[in-house]
A and B are shown apart, each in its own frame.
Chain A
Amino acid sequence: MSKHPHPPMGASSLTRRSLLQAGGALLGAMPLGACRKSHKGTTELSFWNFYAPTDQFPVPSKWFNELVHAWNANNDIKVTLRYVPPADYFAGTVLQTAFSANEGPDIFLISPGDFLRYYNGGALADLTPYLSPEAVADYIDGVLDTRKVDGKIYGLPMEVEPLAMYYSLQAFEKAGLSEADIPKTWEQLLAVARKLTKRDQFGLLFETTPGYYQNFTWYPFMWMGGASAVPGQGGAGFNAPGAIKALEFWRRAVQDGVCPRKCQGDGGSDAVANLASGYCAMQQTGIWSVSQLAQKAPNFPYGVFRLPVPDGGTYTTDMGGWAFVANAKGRNPEAAAKFVAWALGSTTPEGVERCRQWNTVAKTNLPPRKSVSQAAEREGSFAKGALATFVKDIAPGGRGEPRYTPEVYRAVSDAIQACQLSGDDPAKNAAETAAKVESFLKAYKGARML
């Protein structure tokens, strides 16, 4: 029998000696804990993505799980998924700190907007040796351009995501508008937006939060007037009428009170929080919003139309989309590259079906490969509704999301923000931005901007 089976709580149980002993033990344990580090070896590859393993809308994460399961069933080197919340993935520190510590993922997703940062940092493995000529030829013309440097492929796109205007049928009806009133020019867009603007509803919504996404959504307005962020890359540069008109257009939308200064929910890409909630009647967003609305607002009636053009301008839209890439500084770049090539570049029936599933079942995108598009058409995936409009009317004439360095992106972002939300002079901002870009380009030594 113990002398003190239940020591009483209180002063007698806590002596200076016992406290010091506990502190000493804790101090001793700290370095041991700090030294403990997992050592995984090269038989396992990590694959970071931002599709939540949720039970509510499990389709995208289910596709990822099945993809990895299929690979792991036939390969000795296993792939493990890691979910990173979108906010952390897009604009947080998770990826950057991992790469800084040489602990970056072996496989990960990047958008064209981030391509140069990783390529110039030497973090992207060449995928070309693992792709058959048939696979490369299967990609739709231009889709691989922003993922290539000197003819080598450093990323395989999983989707093509064009931008369009979405509108609320109910809001149109309440304002006495019909399909015949769908705007085709910028002036018409503002006029219709004015009719749709109410005490608790904005007529139109563009992205307002500064960042890569806002630039992505603004570029087509610049392109339609013949300008570009970098001179010679699809336009006359930034200090050009096209860029000035586009800045002026977004400025007017806010100054006229038809466009909010702040979006709801996850911002301009969130059609549920903005359009379906009645916060706005028209919203610029991408093809992904078709599945957003189908999943979270299935009874919300809406339509889509292509981005209106300025007087004398030529229609285009921005075609985004994420790509799989392999980490050149990872544990096994060759195996990671093989996985990427197998996952998205396989021309076998299973490979085509896998990509069809991603683009038409797991999400709503346009496939980047011809064989996948044909398979989707055979299944009738794009035969009706908003997706049919995207395929027939919105995507033709579209242009791939550009790849710029963070410095160029920042200069353009500052100009958009200053004009849109501060009401600054577009011409002055365009000139200043062009000067910043020109100054940067003089010292720039990385891969070509497109």
Chain B
Amino acid sequence: MSTLAQHTADARRSARRRREAFAAYLLIAPDVLGLLLFIGLPMCLALGIAFFEVDGFGAYQFVGFDNFAKMAGDAMLSRSAGVTLGYVSGFVPLAFAVSLGLALLVREPFPGVRFVRMAFFLPNVISLVVAGVLWQFLLVDKRGAVPALLRPIGLGDVSWLGDPRFALASLVLISAWFLVGYQMLIFLAALNDIPREYYDASKVDGATPWQQFRYVTWPMLRPTSLFVAIHSSVGAVTGLQAFDLVYVLTRGGPANSTSTLIFYIYQQAFTYNHYGYAAAMTTMVVAFLAAVTGLMFALTRGGRFDAGDR
């Protein structure tokens, strides 16, 4: 009798698990379908187009690997890769450090903390194009608010968007201003997940605030830091700020100093009608990013940094 009851209970549990699994698959189905339809399919099509010369008016000519071979001799592609590297090298560490700093600043409650958090996040809720136009006004040569503020220290005549020496740095700063609020929220969530007991114990051991950050906060933030670093790097190469800001503020100028990879690919497709070549470059960029991201995940076993971290 008890065996029969056991069998019945097992069968019920099994049926319930199947129903739940079925429900789970159904729930994630829209997302998976959306990804396949709007990300996976275009990626496959782009890969296919990369093997053709496409003029944008309906003519397709198979060229094999010519579009990939062409990249080797494209000086402008190398230059754009250099610009992107400079942009990533400037933006990712800056945005990372500032957003982590802001998160630490607004972690503990104080009067008006919600307003301060909102203020830091506010730039992220407006359109990047609008933000670009706003900064264009602020940075106008001679007359903008920024040159006016910097005039007393002899920087009033600097052209922040028109001088190749400063244009990329300006874009880095504007991008960081735009995105640090978002990254701050991610860090804030991770900081709030760190158990208070760890800090209490370290205090008992006589740890200074710096030692608490170094030996408690920083190790506990590693998975989040990895996510922020990858998200930020991918965004810096292919994201909106790498294109929208360039398009609105500089159009790749002055003298190609802000012509990022994604902007150069856009120009190849929509200015020069070299859709096949643009697709080939896109394929290589995606492959490179996937390889780097995969490597980072492999090295950290998916963000698990410590042996006991499961």
Chain A residues proximal to chain B, CB less than 8 Å? 16, 19-20, 23-24, 26-27, 30, 91-93, 96-97, 99-100, 102, 117-118, 120-123, 199-202, 208-211, 257, 260-262, 264, 279, 329, 406-407, 410, 414, 417-418, 420-422, 424
Contact = CB atoms under 8 A, between A and B. Distances in A.
A263 to B, nearest CB: 9
B39 interface: no
Q: Which 3 A-B pairs have the closest CB atoms?
A: A261-B162, A121-B57, A262-B162
A302 to B, nearest CB: 19
B11 interface: no
Given A96-B270, A414-B256, A23 B142 contact: no
Contacts of A424: 255
Contacts of A422: 164, 254-255, 257
Given A208-B253, A261-B159, A27 B57 contact: no
Interface of B: 23, 26-27, 29-30, 33, 55-59, 76, 139-143, 157, 159, 161-164, 250-257, 269-273, 275
Given A279-B143, A414-B256, A96 B56 contact: yes
5 contacts: A102-B58, A118-B57, A260-B159, A417-B255, A421-B254
A358 B1 CA distance: 97
Contacts of B33: 27, 30
A262 B160 CA distance: 9
Contact of B253 (A118, A120, A257, A421): A421
B256 A417 contact: yes
Given A211-B251, A261-B163, A99 B142 contact: no
A121 B56 contact: yes
B159 A262 contact: yes
Chain B CB within 10 Å — which of A23, A257, A261, A406 has the most? A261
A26 B27 CA distance: 12
Contacts of A200: 142-143
Contact of A20 (B26, B164, B254): B26
B58 A210 contact: no
Contact of A100 (B26, B164, B254, B275): B275
Given A20-B27, A27-B33, A262-B161, A210 B252 contact: yes
Contact of A421 (B23, B56, B139, B163): B163
A92 B270 contact: yes
A387 to B, nearest CB: 31
B57 A208 contact: no
Contacts of A199: 142
Given A123-B57, A410-B271, 7 more contacts: A27-B33, A30-B33, A208-B162, A260-B142, A406-B271, A414-B255, A420-B254
B157 A99 contact: no
A210 B251 contact: yes
A221 to B, nearest CB: 18
A421 B33 CA distance: 48
Given A121-B57, A123-B57, A209 B26 contact: no
Contact of B30 (A27, A93, A407, A410): A27
Contacts of B142: 199-202, 260, 279
A121 B141 CA distance: 41
A414 B259 CA distance: 12
Nearest to B156: A199
A26 B34 CA distance: 12
Nearest to B162: A261
Contacts of A92: 270
Contacts of A261: 141, 159, 161-163, 254
Contact of B272 (A16, A122, A211, A407): A407
A199 B254 CA distance: 23
Contacts of A208: 162, 253-254
Contacts of A418: 255-256
Nearest to B54: A100
A406 B76 CA distance: 15
B23 A20 contact: yes
Nearest to B248: A87
B253 A406 contact: no
A417 B253 contact: yes
A198 B116 CA distance: 41
Given A260-B162, A421-B163, A99 B57 contact: yes
Contacts of B139: 262
A92 B253 CA distance: 17
Contacts of B76: 414
Contacts of B255: 414, 417-418, 420-422, 424
Nearest to B252: A210
A196 to B, nearest CB: 13
A417 B164 CA distance: 10
Given A20-B23, A202-B142, A422-B255, A121 B29 contact: no
B273 A421 contact: no
Contacts of B57: 99-100, 118, 121-123, 329
A47 B140 CA distance: 37
Chain A CB within 10 Å — which of B139, B161, B251, B275 has the most? B251
A199 B255 CA distance: 25
A122 B23 CA distance: 53
A254 to B, nearest CB: 9
Chain B CB within 10 Å — which of A97, A118, A122, A262 has the most? A262
A414 B253 CA distance: 9
A260 B254 contact: no
B56 A23 contact: no
A375 B109 CA distance: 77
